[in-house]
Structure 1
């Protein structure tokens, strides 16, 4: 197994940059969803929504706001702790913000699908499609990564083990310890 020749500070910097790149990709989708939701309240059909649909709209709007807040929190955290020697802490906390943001986003996406399909095809179809959307998010964003992390697939021998840190003790036979 190969290892990167980087210090813990360099690794934290790289990890933070990778996390920020992931958040940039996600943030665009959140912004589009939020903009879509904002415009709905000003459409001609909005007054025709029943109380369930209005509740779904408000919950979905608030979940999309929460997702946007959680996905932008790492930048604010970094700005607040900049040059204080806390990069590893920033990376760890930011990763948690990102995970919570994905959870909020999954619920917001399911809510948006529920609202639209409910209006177009009815409540039963809306609930079914929303549950399916939530299942796809859970499967692709949580279950599959967990399954892969547990070693269900072979690791690339040229890719370093990012979970190991210096002092973790000996790794698998033949593996170098950083």
Structure 2
């Protein structure tokens, strides 16, 4: 039996989109796929470069610390790719089983996990590259600054926009 009940908007009010749970799941899945396309492409390119590093002649000259950072970075890159590609597999295995809302919820969680792993992968990659390029402790400070920039772009700006839109609606 298909539900025809209309859903409230994300804040629980009745003035949002007029859609059924299935329509909302379809829309949210489409939105999620667009987000994943952007993230997956970047992760796959980065991961490809990381894999190629070990085959470069200069790799043999890395310090034990840099080799450890490299291994951690490759493992993070692999975990990131798995988390960001995972929603596609999840969807494919559950298609046709009338679980679209649950599929979207789990895929969304996997995507958030993938973004957290991507943050870690990017910071680890930067640390490795900057340590090799600069041969000094400035690398750690630069990575810290870039990590802060990621947090600002990925969390602070959206939170600011959300707070601002809430205060505008409240007036």
Q: Work out whether the TM-score is over 0.5.
A: yes
Q: Which residue of the partner structure matches residue 32 of structure 1?
A: 45
Matched-pair contact (CA < 8 Å) for 1:16–1:91: yes
Q: Which residue of the partner structure matches residue 160 of structure 1?
A: none
- Does the residue aligned with 1:141 lie in a helix, a strand or coil? helix
Q: What RMSD, in angstroms, separates the aligned Cα atoms of the two structures?
A: 2.1
> Matched residues in 2 for 1:18 and 1:145: separation?
17
Cα 1:88–1:123, aligned 2, differ >3 Å: closer, same or farther? Answer: farther
Shift of 1:27: 0.6
Q: Note the 1:84-103 alignment, pairs <5 A.
A: 84-103=97-116
Shift of 1:155: 7.9
Q: Which one of the candidate residues 152, 174, 177 is aligned to 2:164?
A: 152
> Matched residues in 1 for 2:96 and 2:85: separation?
19
> Matched residues in 2 for 1:132 and 1:36: separation?
23
Query: Would you say 1:44 and 2:57 are equivalent positions?
Result: yes
Shift of 1:2: 6.1
**Which structure has more helix as a fraction of its residues?**
2
> Matched residues in 2 for 1:27 and 1:38: separation?
16
Q: RCO (CA 8 Å, sep 6+): is it higher in 1 or 2?
A: 1
Give deviations 1:78-123, integer Å, cap 9, x for gaps: 1121111111111111111111101111111111111111111124
Q: Which residue of the partner structure matches residue 78 of structure 1?
A: 91
Instruction: Provide the aligned length of Structure 1 versus Structure 2.
Output: 158
> Matched residues in 2 for 1:123 and 1:37: separation?
22
Give deviations 1:7-54, integer Å, cap 9, x for gaps: 220111010111011000111110111011011101111000001100
Cα 1:72–1:140, aligned 2, differ >3 Å: closer, same or farther? Answer: same
- Does the residue aligned with 2:17 lie in a helix, a strand or coil? coil
* TM-score where L is the length of structure 1: 0.81
Shift of 1:154: 5.8
